[in-house]
Structure 1
């Protein structure tokens, strides 16, 4: 069964694509990077900075929000966009990955996953139906089906069992979503680990079920980058051309650039803010570790050509001082610099695809990262 399509493909350049996705809370330009506001907040950043940096859409986490402050409470307070003050498009994950990664005491059955809350130890049951209910209460523009993600490497039998369970949960997720208001979307999630024929089978079955968009899940969970890219090459061509493709939990700027080259439209990762809190800056010169002593007397900004003021206005020496002194301002500045760099990268990708120069952009961007930025003598 097919669903209304809210995605418009505007241009392609090889396998790379650019388009726009219409949501109840605004337009999303693709390829898009979604900063992660796990518990309804962007760590170290105000929402206005996230928007000013160029983000069209952000991600919220079903697992954390259902445990605290609670989906029903957020619904009574007007939904996640009003509750947080973000106001723009939001995608929520299903909560399944966090159950698997954060809850040591859990039990997976056909019906649901039961686990102990990492907050207070309370027993919680999360089924596909409850996951969709929570996401609808939150009011996210894009909800994700519930799935089971297996960390790699893993045995084929374990990967196939989880993939088949995820397909059955996909059908239940879709049925639970059927009464959602027009314009809201549900994405299916391709599983299959690092086994091509399982990826193909998952993609075919999800396409037959029919979703507004399709995610590639179960990657960036321990496998080498080459394996991840190989699985994208196997999976993306098996998905409908006219629907958005979302690579979950990825990743570094290089991962994103290479995934776009293989046909991916949407990304999310905690890396910009997490690395910022640990003194790392993402720039067109690659990653710069501001904890390193070589920055102690360096008067240069991180990037004098950056579109983001904080990357131009503060010296490396000052940022180094903030990081080494453990000042909160250092984490805040580097987080916003990183989110802005990711958005600048996405804008460059979109423009390059639209103008048919993506390969040139890809080559120059990779060369800049490889060259790095040599400190003055």
Structure 2
């Protein structure tokens, strides 16, 4: 294990685990949800409010940061933590998914990916070695191997090609990773919707002795049951003593289902993106503030929430802000959503410790059903 980075499990409930990841920049309570700070910002939020909501760690994006303002510039300015005024842990993804989904005229080969920026058309190369270099320049506490993520559904042959390439890139990423106190490198399980490929990938990565392992290539268009099947397939082959991270997931129900299968870490743009588009996540279910039914509703989103945005502003006012296109509406709903996700994770951790995760999940779903009928 990297000096200064460790993981401890202090309670279990079935396959679900409650624990802490320890880093020099602070502990990460697990199961954890990481708000996405794509371009050195959690969109529409002050970092102080992200922390106040209960977040222990943020996610930064290699692809966006390498294009603007540039990893070397961020390093000269003191690193990503100092740059964005977030002194707590940061995980950076490798950039591979965004290259595949955003870049223009991309060319993939054994060496890496050559692509044109979606911003200005400039040409760039991203290899496992360059991804590791960028993440080191940013100063990320948890860094991810470069992998190839294919969208589902795809053919077995395509999933196998991408999985085997990702394993070769995992080895190269591990060799290029700069060991520094408290920093960790995670591998990424690939294999599409194939159980055999997922098992092979998980076993190979477990043998490489990463500090943690992610499951990638899910939440990319497949039904929830396919995602859960792949988790049930891969997780038994991952080391018990290391954190498991499900990338890019997801809805509150996806998160609870994955926790019950042994996942420790999550990230998703869903709460922030939804907030910018007038959608709130609450204990009472999803609330679409654009709907006319909220125009004269004096109730807050959630009177019991610890978040001022969810507790202190009426649905009528939030409806007005959304309909008027006011930036404050985006800010308040994003804050409420990030707070709800953190409250959900806190509830999950408490439930695991008490051995009642199944009851918590049922009660949470019942709250959504009651709220939608209110």
Q: TM-score, normalised by structure 1?
A: 0.97
Distance 1:252 1:18 in 2: 20
CA contact 1:136–1:180 (8 Å) conserved in 2: no
* Structure 1 residue aligned with 2:32: 32
Do residues 88 (structure 1) and 88 (structure 2) align?
yes
1:182-219 deviation line (CA, Å, top 9, x unaligned): 21000000000110010000000001111000000000
* Structure 2 residue aligned with 1:338: 337
* Structure 1 residue aligned with 2:55: 55
CA contact 2:28–2:56 (8 Å) conserved in 1: yes
CA contact 2:2–2:184 (8 Å) conserved in 1: no
CA contact 2:2–2:183 (8 Å) conserved in 1: no
Distance 2:304 2:99 in 1: 42
* Structure 1 residue aligned with 2:106: 106
1:162-194 deviation line (CA, Å, top 9, x unaligned): 0000000000000001x3212100000000011
Where do 1:140-155 residues align within 5 Å? 140-155=140-155
Do residues 256 (structure 1) and 255 (structure 2) align?
yes
| CA displacement at 1:285 relative to structure 2 | 1.0
Q: CA RMSD in A?
A: 1.0
Do residues 319 (structure 1) and 334 (structure 2) align?
no
Secondary structure of the residue that 2:37 maps to in structure 1? Answer: coil
CA contact 2:2–2:179 (8 Å) conserved in 1: no
Flag as ranges the 4+ runs of structure 1 deviating above 3 A: 2-5
1:47-97 deviation line (CA, Å, top 9, x unaligned): 000000000000000000011111111111111000000111000000000
CA contact 1:3–1:211 (8 Å) conserved in 2: no
* Structure 2 residue aligned with 1:138: 138
Distance 2:358 2:261 in 1: 12
Secondary structure of the residue that 2:38 maps to in structure 1? Answer: coil
* Structure 1 residue aligned with 2:226: 227
* Structure 1 residue aligned with 2:189: 190
* Structure 2 residue aligned with 1:362: 361
| CA displacement at 1:373 relative to structure 2 | 4.2
Length, aligned pairs only: 373
* Structure 1 residue aligned with 2:351: 352
1:71-127 deviation line (CA, Å, top 9, x unaligned): 111111111000000111000000000000001311111011000011111110000
Note the residue ranges of structure 1 that are not aligned, 5 or more in a row.
Answer: none
Distance 1:105 1:357 in 2: 50
* Structure 2 residue aligned with 1:124: 124
Secondary structure of the residue that 1:182 maps to in structure 2? Answer: coil
Distance 1:181 1:274 in 2: 34
Distance 1:324 1:146 in 2: 41
